[in-house]
């Protein structure tokens, strides 16, 4: 990575996203902080610029729970930039109670998987034309208890908070492996990671304070956001993994993910379903 590199980081305004942004920005690269909230995004943007002294850091709005917002962001991004060297899909959500995206999909699957699936696919042309380039997907060890509920992917019947989260995180890994397979003849690599248990605001419901309560109790046992971000930064920047693709990492080491995550037939089925849910299949 160098000062000409262009990097997008989703969920860049807090936690691991902000920690990742700071380290990447220190290289002098063009870093686009993709955030959902204007005020929190702007505040983090000003903080990152102050710490890194990098005037090429930019802040752009995008709600990963909205197909229209993702399309609008990609259109605007392509007006400003003619290349993309690294895409770090970091944003994530976990909330008590069942919620839906503006498009009517279960929120965790909609944001954690579908939002990043659509964003990545809409940016593939730039990633390919800018190769060698990288896609880094932040998953979770929670994927091990996950299953893709193809008969009710929106969990309208048997919603459980961790069932929804585990499904979305398994989807992240299956998406990683399938995309890596589809890009095997290019120099675009796609890898994913488990950052460890990290004390971030991912679970905070600003109405109930649920996440803040849980995080407060468990914080002494959690990694800091900076520690959690180390593997994502490694996958985005290290020369050691040049050419490595379709792998799962913990603490900068390649490890095996769950048995379910290697089901190629299910991965292809998930890809087709994701195309339909995001509207990508309509444009084919």
**What does the pLDDT look like over 241-275, one tens digit per residue?**
999 999 999 999 999 999 999 999 999 999 999 99
Q: Is residue 133 included in any domain, yes or no?
A: yes
Q: Is residue 45 included in any domain, yes or no?
A: yes
The pLDDT, as a whole number, for residue 122 is: 98
| Three-class secondary structure of residue 89 per DSSP | strand
Whether residue 182 contacts residue 124, with contact meaning beta carbons closer than 8 Å, is answered with: no
Please name which of 86, 94, 115 lies closest in space to residue 9, comparing C-alpha atoms.
86
Q: What is the pLDDT along the chain (284 residues), one digit of tens a residue?
A: 888 999 999 999 988 899 999 999 999 999 999 999 999 999 999 999 999 999 999 999 999 999 999 999 999 999 999 999 999 999 999 888 999 999 999 999 999 999 999 999 999 999 999 999 999 999 988 899 999 999 999 999 989 999 999 999 999 999 999 999 999 999 999 999 998 654 444 443 333 344 444 444 444 445 676 777 899 999 999 999 999 999 999 999 999 999 999 999 999 999 999 999 999 977 55
Whether residue 57 contacts residue 105, with contact meaning beta carbons closer than 8 Å, is answered with: no
Please name which of 144, 126, 135 lies closest in space to residue 177, comparing C-alpha atoms.
135
Name the residues annotated as catalytic.
Answer: 165
Q: Is residue 210 included in any domain, yes or no?
A: no
Distance CA 22, CA 187 (A): 26
Whether residue 131 contacts residue 124, with contact meaning beta carbons closer than 8 Å, is answered with: no
Q: Is residue 200 included in any domain, yes or no?
A: no
Single pTM value for the model: 0.91
The pLDDT, as a whole number, for residue 66 is: 98
DSSP state for residue 178 in the 8-state scheme: H
Please report, for the domain that includes residue 240, its CATH number.
Answer: 3.40.50.720
Q: Is residue 220 included in any domain, yes or no?
A: no
Whether residue 85 contacts residue 91, with contact meaning beta carbons closer than 8 Å, is answered with: no
Q: Token pair for residue 119?
A: 């964003």
Distance CA 223, CA 120 (A): 28
> In terms of residue numbers, what domain contains 116?
6-195+225-278
Distance CA 60, CA 76 (A): 9
The pLDDT, as a whole number, for residue 225 is: 64
Q: Token pair for residue 242?
A: 């040049």
Q: Is residue 21 included in any domain, yes or no?
A: yes
Q: Which residue has the tokens 């909205």?
A: 66
Helices in 81-209 by DSSP H: which ranges? 107-108, 116-129, 161-182
Cα dihedral sign, 25-31-34-37: positive
Distance CA 241, CA 251 (A): 14
DSSP state for residue 221 in the 8-state scheme: G
- Between CA 138 and CA 45, with CA 175 as vertex, the angle to 5 degrees is 35
Whether residue 115 contacts residue 35, with contact meaning beta carbons closer than 8 Å, is answered with: no
Please name which of 228, 235, 281 lies closest in space to residue 114, comparing C-alpha atoms.
281
Q: Is residue 209 included in any domain, yes or no?
A: no
Strand order in the sheet with 58-61: 58-61, 30-35, 6-10, 86-89, 133-138, 188-194, 248-250, 253-255
Q: Token pair for residue 85?
A: 């060297």
The pLDDT, as a whole number, for residue 209 is: 40
Q: Is residue 213 included in any domain, yes or no?
A: no
The pLDDT, as a whole number, for residue 223 is: 63
Q: Which residue has the tokens 């208890």?
A: 145
Burial (CB < 10 A; 0-12, 13-18, 19+), residue 148, is buried
Q: How many domains does the chain have?
A: 1
């Amino acid at each position: 990575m160098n000062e000409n590199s262009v990097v997008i980081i989703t969920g860049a305004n807090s936690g691991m996203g902000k920690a990742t942004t700071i380290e990447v920005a220190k290289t002098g690269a063009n870093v686009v902080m993709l955030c959902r909230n204007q005020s929190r995004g702007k505040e983090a943007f000003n903080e990152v610029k102050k710490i890194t002294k990098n005037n090429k850091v930019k802040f752009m709005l995008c709600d990963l729970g909205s197909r229209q917002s993702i399309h609008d962001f990609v259109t605007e991004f392509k007006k400003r930039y003619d290349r993309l060297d690294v895409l770090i899909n970091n944003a994530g959500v976990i909330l008590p109670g069942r919620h839906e995206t503006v498009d009517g999909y279960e929120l965790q699957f909609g944001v954690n998987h579908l939002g990043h699936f659509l964003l990545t696919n809409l940016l593939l042309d730039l990633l390919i034309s800018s190769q060698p380039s990288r896609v880094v997907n932040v998953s979770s060890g929670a994927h091990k208890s996950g299953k893709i509920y193809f008969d009710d992917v929106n969990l309208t019947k048997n919603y459980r908070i961790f069932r929804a989260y585990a499904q979305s995180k398994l989807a992240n890994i299956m998406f990683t492996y399938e995309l890596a397979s589809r890009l095997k003849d290019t120099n675009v690599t796609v890898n994913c990671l488990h950052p460890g248990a990290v004390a971030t605001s991912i679970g905070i419901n600003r109405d109930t304070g649920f996440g803040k309560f849980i995080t407060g109790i468990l914080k002494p046992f959690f990694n800091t956001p900076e520690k959690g971000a180390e593997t994502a930064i490694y996958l985005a920047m290290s020369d050691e993994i040049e050419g490595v693709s379709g792998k799962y990492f913990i603490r900068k080491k390649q490890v095996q993910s769950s048995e379910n995550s290697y089901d190629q037939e299910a991965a292809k089925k998930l890809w087709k379903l994701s195309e339909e849910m995001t509207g990508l299949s309509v444009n084919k």
